[in-house]
Amino acid sequence: MNLSMRWLREFVDIDEDINMREFSEAITMSGSKVESFEKEGSELKNIVVGRVLSTEKHPDADRLTVCKVDVGEAETIQIVTAATNVVPDALVPVAKDNSVVHSGQKIKKGKLRGVLSQGMFCSVAELGVTVHDFPYAIEDGIFLIQEDCKVGDDIRDAIGLNDTKVEFEITSNRPDCFSVIGLAREAAATYNKPLKLHTPVVKGIGESCEGMLDVKIENKELCKMYSAKIVKNVRVKPSPRWLRERLRAMGVRPINNIVDITNYVMLEYGQPMHAFDLRFVDGAKIRIRNAKAGETITTLDGIERKLSEKNLIIADENKPIAIAGVMGGEFSGIVDDTNTIVFESANFDGASVRLTAKEHGMRTDASSRYEKGLDPNNCLPVLQRACELVELLDAGDVYDGEIIDFAGESIDKINVRKRIALEPDWINSFLDTKLSVDEMKAILTKLECEFDGEDVLPPTFRPDLQHKADIAEEIARFVGYNTIPSTSISGGAQGKYTARQKFDSKIAATMLALGLSEIMTYSFVSPKYYDKILMPKDSELRRSVVITNPLGEDTSVMRTTALPSILEILAKNYNNRNEKAYLYELAREYIPITDDKLPIEKNKLIGGFYGLSDFFELKGIVEETLDRLSIYDYDVEASADEFAYHPGRCAVLTIDGERIGVFGELHPQVAENYGIGERVYAFELEADLLFKYTKSEKQYTPLPKFPAVTRDIAVICDENIPVLTLEKAMKKSAGSTLESVKLFDVYQGEQIEKGKKNVAFRITMRSHNETLTDEHANSTMKKIMKALENEGAVLRA
């Protein structure tokens, strides 16, 4: 919302030479946030009003004219121009030597085809204004000024380009501040100055409008008030300069006096208005009703719109003439031969206007005001003000009286003041202030609250004031938030991390120590990504939580697996020619249950790699991770049918039969789908299950007091027997003194029969009570050998 400081000063005495930074700060701190301010024409330098004294053809150029110009200085200056509309005696904007025009271009004296030119004449655009601001000016040519000004005047003062515009951020709870008067009220309260409100007076023509228009509100839920006045003999012409200036400062384009009046009043009061030609109202009947199925309207912007039954419209006997609170119909607008017009000032339900504007994708100045909820009590004063301006501008003849329909028993009960108990003690303890009742009342009075006994009666244009906390806020912001003390919360509290939060930190520390960097990826993916990771068509994981209004297909479903997310990132890094990537994410996955329930949000620890030396580096990372997280009793089994993974290089991790994760090399097709030209690896661990199985308490084991005995053993077995099978057999058979079994060699090739492999282990035995004897070691080794033989492995000869 833009505000003209000049307009503001009509309602409150703010010094002409106020420091705008201080003003912005003060009004921001009382609750109306200033985004920026700008003095009009501040970019212009050294441009004055000049009078053309003479024009002559340039001696060497047909298209140039040499002009003598009086710029109010002792000596006249000479300007060479290509413009064709400059005539002797015209008043023109002169950019003198060393001046700056609106575009930022600097003007200096120089020679044009050999003739001295000491500056430049300006067009409207070069001053940063438009022909809408100065309807007598032309677009392509010099601005011939028809304003009351003198030669030598600063151009900004001469054409009134000297207002200051302030841009406010108005929050949705303050529809009243979408107006000059609303902001003036805030400024007056901020500076403790009176608000000078004006009561509009309409003379009228002594002839009543009664019977000229039949107004009926059919939907009294959505329309609380509809009022209209009628003006005949409309004289459509440009508005006077003062009015155009104000519209311009507020960022509204002047059009003609009638349209400008509706805009002016809307800006001043915050209440939108609409004006339409009475001729086009069939049957002189106005009905405020919901649209019927199939009805259409072509709005002022020339677009034909299909109306839905939810849309509140203004209709005549036969057809819609406006979408209530949003935009009028094209045909009913003001045209050149318009004679009699209806000014409408009505109150529509905010939510309804908001939804209708959204439905038709047309948020207008009117709808953005209505949607926040306006005060029906404003309708009539606004109507009066518009007609007062009609008379002031001599834009038409105003009939006496108005045509009104409203919801409710009487017009003064459409919107009445609420009643809130003023509880000074509660407010003081809530804010930690020590204000007297009188101080509180003084603040509230500035905001036009009234009092009745112990109660505050806030004004009807403040729908946001409903509770004593709202009253406390009004008091706090005028006392000043920053004058209220700052205290610590009384009563001690111990903040702590939960076991799960500590576990997650441990995961992060482990990942970092293992050389994996943390990533953060979008939780939504494209359903096509499931194809990219070769997910079977009938997989349960293809059922995702679907976003009904996604930004795009790529972000349209909530992922059921984080694998595509990390693959996207690996692919990006690969494309960016990063040598390797070791990445992880503690990622959420969203598993739907039923449509009316929230999905399960699972946490997955996922790692993704390229540039890894081999599968066993990956496995080492997984094993070390589980070890660090104190998870020991898990099983690893080869799995050939995990989608996305290489059938011969993938393992599944389980604990007591419960699957806790999977890791392996990804299927070459997956790597290809992501355009990664090398082997890609991943692990996926169910973080919620890891937490379930982690042993949070560690127990110290005494360091061994007796030496260990080690024996190496090499066996030959079928190449398809997993080493884990052999290890398990050894561990099972060896008895309590077995400390560890460590694989140190696997060999296939020369000297080994085809289809067999040679596997070598180092076996360490130790007792905590004594030094083991050779006999004991030998007997253990015998047991181990027997167990190995049972698995089909024989001692290497």
Rule CB under 8 A: say whether 429 interacts with another protein: yes
* Paired residues of 381 in beta bridges: none
Backbone angles phi, psi at 377, to 5 degrees: -65, -10
Q: Which stretch binds another protein (CB under 8 A): 125-133, 167-175, 388-396, 722-730?
A: 167-175
Rule CB under 8 A: say whether 567 interacts with another protein: no
> What single letter denotes the amino acid at residue 545?
V
Q: Residue 665 Cβ, how far from another protein at the closest point, in Å?
A: 20
Tell the burial category of 540 from Cβ atoms under 10 Å away from its Cβ (0-12, 13-18, 19+).
exposed
* Paired residues of 344 in beta bridges: 228, 274
Binding-residue total with another protein (CB under 8 A): 89
Rule CB under 8 A: say whether 548 interacts with another protein: yes
Nearer to another protein, 294 or 492 (CB): 492
Nearer to another protein, 410 or 490 (CB): 490
Which residue among 231, 457, 516, 759 contacts another protein (CB under 8 A)? 516
- Residue appearing with tokens 């300006």: 122
Residue ranges of the alpha helices (H) in 59-123? none
Q: Which stretch binds another protein (CB under 8 A): 48-56, 256-264, 508-516, 654-662?
A: 508-516
In terms of phi and psi (left: phi > 0; alpha: psi -120 to 50; beta: otherwise), the region of 323 is beta
Contact 529, 564 (CB under 8 A): yes
Which residue among 306, 572, 659, 705 contacts another protein (CB under 8 A)? 572
Q: Which stretch binds another protein (CB under 8 A): 216-224, 265-273, 302-310, 487-495?
A: 487-495
Q: What six digits make up the tokens of 545?
A: 């939580």
Give whole-number Cα distances, 466 to 151, 438, 450, in Å.
58, 21, 14
| Closest CA relative to residue 262, chosen from 153, 87, 176, 387 | 387
Give residues 364-383 in contact with another protein (rule: CB under 8 A).
371-372
Q: Write the interaction track for another protein spanning residues 171-190; mark x where CB under 8 A is met and - where it is not.
A: xxxx----------------
* Paired residues of 665 in beta bridges: 681
Q: Which stretch binds another protein (CB under 8 A): 102-110, 453-461, 539-547, 622-630?
A: 539-547
Rule CB under 8 A: say whether 151 interacts with another protein: no
Give residues 4-63 in contact with another protein (rule: CB under 8 A).
21, 28-31, 33, 36
Which residue among 584, 645, 683, 761 contacts another protein (CB under 8 A)? 584
3-state SS string for 736-773: CCEEEEEEEEEECCCCCCCCEEEEEEEEEECCCCCCCC
Rule CB under 8 A: say whether 301 interacts with another protein: no
Nearer to another protein, 101 or 177 (CB): 177
- Residue appearing with tokens 């509660």: 426
Q: Residue 621 Cβ, how far from another protein at the closest point, in Å?
A: 11
Distance separating alpha carbons of residues 67 and 58, to the nearest angstrom: 9
Distance separating alpha carbons of residues 346 and 381, to the nearest angstrom: 11
Rule CB under 8 A: say whether 549 interacts with another protein: yes
Give whole-number Cα distances, 482 to 344, 431, 478, in Å.
44, 12, 10
Nearer to another protein, 29 or 636 (CB): 29
Give the 3-state secondary structure percentages of the chain, helix then strand then coil, rounded to 5: 30, 30, 45
Nearer to another protein, 103 or 490 (CB): 490
Q: What six digits make up the tokens of 704?
A: 């061994």
Nearer to another protein, 176 or 405 (CB): 176
Q: What six digits make up the tokens of 165?
A: 């515009």
Nearer to another protein, 504 or 623 (CB): 504
Q: Residue 421 Cβ, how far from another protein at the closest point, in Å?
A: 12
Rule CB under 8 A: say whether 493 interacts with another protein: yes
Q: Which stretch binds another protein (CB under 8 A): 71-79, 138-146, 269-277, 428-436?
A: 428-436
Nearer to another protein, 498 or 751 (CB): 498
**Host H or E run for residue 67:** strand 61-70
Q: What is the Cα 628 distance to its own chain's centre?
A: 42
Which residue among 183, 322, 449, 519 contacts another protein (CB under 8 A)? 519
Q: Residue 627 Cβ, how far from another protein at the closest point, in Å?
A: 17
Which residue among 201, 484, 499, 746 contacts another protein (CB under 8 A)? 484
Nearer to another protein, 629 or 715 (CB): 629
Which residue among 76, 555, 630, 733 contacts another protein (CB under 8 A)? 555
Give residues 588-627 in contact with another protein (rule: CB under 8 A).
588, 590, 595-596, 598-599, 601
Give whole-number Cα distances, 455 to 444, 445, 449, 481, in Å.
12, 13, 10, 24
Q: Which stretch binds another protein (CB under 8 A): 3-11, 63-71, 110-118, 480-488?
A: 480-488
Nearer to another protein, 94 or 621 (CB): 621
Dihedral sign (CA 346, 350, 353, 357): positive
Give residues 346-365 in contact with another protein (rule: CB under 8 A).
350-351, 354-355, 358
Distance separating alpha carbons of residues 475 and 159, to the nearest angstrom: 43
| Closest CA relative to residue 119, chosen from 103, 107, 105 | 107
Tell the burial category of 622 from Cβ atoms under 10 Å away from its Cβ (0-12, 13-18, 19+).
buried
Q: What six digits make up the tokens of 463?
A: 């729908």
Nearer to another protein, 96 or 354 (CB): 354
